[in-house]
Amino acid sequence: MKVKKLIFSFVMSAAFLFFGINCFSQVATQQDVEQGNSEDLGLPNESTVMDFNYATLVGKVLDENKKPVANLRLEVELASDRELQNEISTGLSITDIIKGLKQVMGSGVFTSAVTNETGEYRIKGIAAPGIYYVHERNAANYFPTSIKVSLDASQKKDFNVPDLNVKTRETPVKVISEKALTQMDKARNAIKQKDFKTAIKCIEKAIEIEPEYGEGYYRLAILNMNNKDTDAAMKNLEKAVQFDKENKMAFKTLGDVALFKKDYQKALNSFSEYLALREKEGNLTIAEAKIYFQAGNCCKALKKFDDSFTYFEKYLDVKKKITALDQKDSLILNDIGAFYYGKKNMDKAIDFYLRTIELNPAISAETYMYLGNSYFTKRDGVNAIKYYSKYLEMDPKGKYAAQVKALLDKLKTMYPNSK
């Protein structure tokens, strides 16, 4: 494993720690929310670090039949630094804004609310500009669901949030007890004080209360990673996905840890589970594209070459829908072309070789030669001449130059009108 990958792994761990671990907060009553008791809820007041505007989030929770869902606990969380950096548009210093948001909102879940009998909720004191997530993730009858909320600097008073559409579970799951959640609240507070030992003890107590608490194992694993204890992290992540088979981030993080430890099969299995969950949700992002790429590399390490190129193709397909491919991607296209060439699937080989040179015309001269070979195999002499000629133009003294020249001379007698 390269040094930079090692560094990335632990940087990622720290990011998960501060982005994810604060996902535990005490329940705010509907009265608290509607009356705007910000001090009781830990919400900001007007004497905070920056002069933010403060909005009230107004929304509704509906099931798949568009019926309101009452008495459902929702949590509000500040988005990641990356999202804040990329999505907040303002003339002010984005670094100062992020710092201010963290000071007034916290770096994880900072409040919660309960929907009323019509499925509605109101949450006051949300700083603008800011990017937030509204989560539902501890309900017996509904799958975890989130929506993203973006507030610009001009927004204040009521801000209508898109409906949170939850999907009913076929089989209800156990809701975590208040005793366990209280321990998680204590863990959150300990983390704010950077008292990670206490945080670990609190989460362990929560798991002792709720032995099948998948989210608890996941949060404990994040702390393990922060302590660079990858063995403990992997053990707890395996428990997390055992008890919560829909925890996407637990699967992804288990894949990251397994890849770090060079357990390629476990990494592949975990990445595959994560991708299957994300494919069901749709709207794949560049993050999923990268995981397809990682899964492909795991397959290569396991010598599962057919599977590896399936993942690499998926990586390219997803990335192309989101952004333009770059020259590094031309190397992947070229490798896939070579794979199909070796399989004697010349149609596929030609497709990927053509995409390679379209993206990077200065690719290796041999790519042009193999493209010529592919056309020659298909008895397309005109295109074979075209790409053999390009090979000789790029590498007239290459190791295949003599053979290609002899073949090219023969083809030109057979296709005298070719250019």
pLDDT in tens, 101-125: 888 887 667 888 999 999 999 999 9
pLDDT digits (tens, 9 = 90+) for 125-140: 999 899 999 999 788 8
| 56 & 123 share domain | yes
Q: From 264, 295, 316, give the residue that closes a domain.
A: 316
Instruction: Please give the pLDDT value at position 77.
Output: 86
| Domain that includes residue 392, residue range | 324-414
Residues in Cβ contact with 299 at an 8 Å cutoff, skipping those fewer than 6 apart: 268, 305, 307, 308, 311
- Whether the pLDDT of residue 164 is over 60: the answer is yes
**Of 262, 289, 316, which residue constitutes the final position of a domain?**
316
Average pLDDT over residues 365-392: 96
The CATH number of residue 62's host domain is: 2.60.40.2190
* Mean pLDDT of the region 308-337: 96
The encoded tokens of residue 268 equal 């592949």
Q: Tell whether 31 and 112 lie within a shared domain.
A: yes
Q: Is residue 117, in this structure, part of any structural domain at all?
A: yes
CB-based burial label for 53 (10 Å; 0-12, 13-18, 19+): middle
Q: Are 247 and 274 in contact (CB under 8 A)?
A: no
- Answer yes or no: is pLDDT of 2 > 50: no
Is it the case that residue 6 has pLDDT exceeding 50?
Answer: no
Q: Strand 164-165 and strand 109-114: pairing? A: unpaired
| Residue 48 sits in the same domain as residue 122 | yes
Residue range 252-261: mean pLDDT, rounded: 97
Is the residue at 298 inside a domain? yes
> Which segment of 90-94, 358-362, 384-388 scores lowest on mean pLDDT?
90-94
Mean pLDDT across 352-379: 96
3-state helix, strand, coil in the chain (%, to 5): 55, 15, 30
Task: Using the predicted structure, report yes or no on whether residue 192 has a pLDDT greater than 80.
Answer: no
Residues 308 and 351 in one domain: no
pLDDT at residue 107, rounded to an integer: 66
3-state secondary structure of 189: helix
Let me know: does 264 contact 295? Beta carbons within 8 Å.
no
Q: Identify which of 372, 377, 374, 385 has the alpha carbon closest to the alpha carbon of residue 417.
A: 385
List of residues 6+ apart from 284 with CB closer than 8 A: 278, 318, 321, 322
Average pLDDT, the chain: 86
Domain count, the chain: 3
Residue 68: helix, strand or coil by DSSP?
A: strand
Which range (31-45, 77-91, 340-354) has the least confidence?
31-45
Q: Is 168 helix (H, G, I), strand (E, B) or coil?
A: strand
Q: How does DSSP classify residue 87?
A: H
Distance, C-alpha 352 to centroid of its chain: 27
87 pLDDT exceeds 70?
Answer: yes
For residue 193, is it within any domain?
no
Residues 282, 217 share a domain: yes
pLDDT for 23 equals 35
Q: Dihedrals φ, ψ of 125, to 5°?
A: 80, 35
Q: Is residue 173 part of a domain?
A: no
pLDDT of residue 33: 34
Cβ atoms 162, 60 nearer than 8 A:
no
> Residue 196 domain-assigned?
no
Please say whether the beta carbons of 64 and 150 come within 8 A: no
Which residues, 6 or more positions from 360, have their beta carbon under 8 angstroms from its beta carbon?
Answer: 327, 330
Residue 398 included in any domain: yes
Q: Looking at the structure, tell me whether residues 328 and 299 fall in a common domain.
A: no
Mean pLDDT throughout 194-201? Answer: 94
In this structure, the answer to whether residues 263 and 344 fall within a common structural domain is: no
What angle is formed at CA 407 by the lines to CA 403 and CA 412, rounded to 5 degrees?
150
pLDDT given for residue 383 in this prediction:
96
Asked whether residue 321 carries a pLDDT value surpassing 80, the answer given is yes
pLDDT at residue 200 is higher than 90: yes
The answer to whether residue 206 sits within a structural domain is no
Q: For the beta carbon of residue 322, count every other beta carbon within 10 angstroms.
A: 12
| 201 band by pLDDT with thresholds 50, 70 and 90 | very high
Q: Do 356 and 261 fall within a single domain?
A: no
Pair (48, 152) in one structural domain: yes
- Whole-number Å distance between alpha carbons of 123 and 59: 9
Whether residues 20 and 121 share a domain: the answer is yes
**Under 8 Å between Cβ of 98 and 81:** yes
Residue 411, amino acid: L
The answer to whether residues 302 and 330 belong to one domain is no
Query: How far is the C-alpha of 223 from the C-alpha of 189, rounded, in Å?
Result: 14
* pLDDT score recorded for residue 134: 94
Residues 233 and 341 in one domain: no
- Average pLDDT in the 356-373 region? 96
Q: Select the more confidently predicted residue: 62 or 92.
A: 62
CATH at residue 406: 1.25.40.10
Q: Is residue 184 part of a domain?
A: no
- 173-177: long-range pairs with CB below 8 Å, 24+: 173/140, 174/140, 174/210, 174/212, 175/138, 175/139, 175/140, 176/138, 176/210, 176/213, 176/215, 176/216, 177/209, 177/210
pLDDT of residue 416: 83
**End residue of a domain, out of 257, 292, 316:** 316
Q: Say if residue 363's pLDDT is above 80.
A: yes
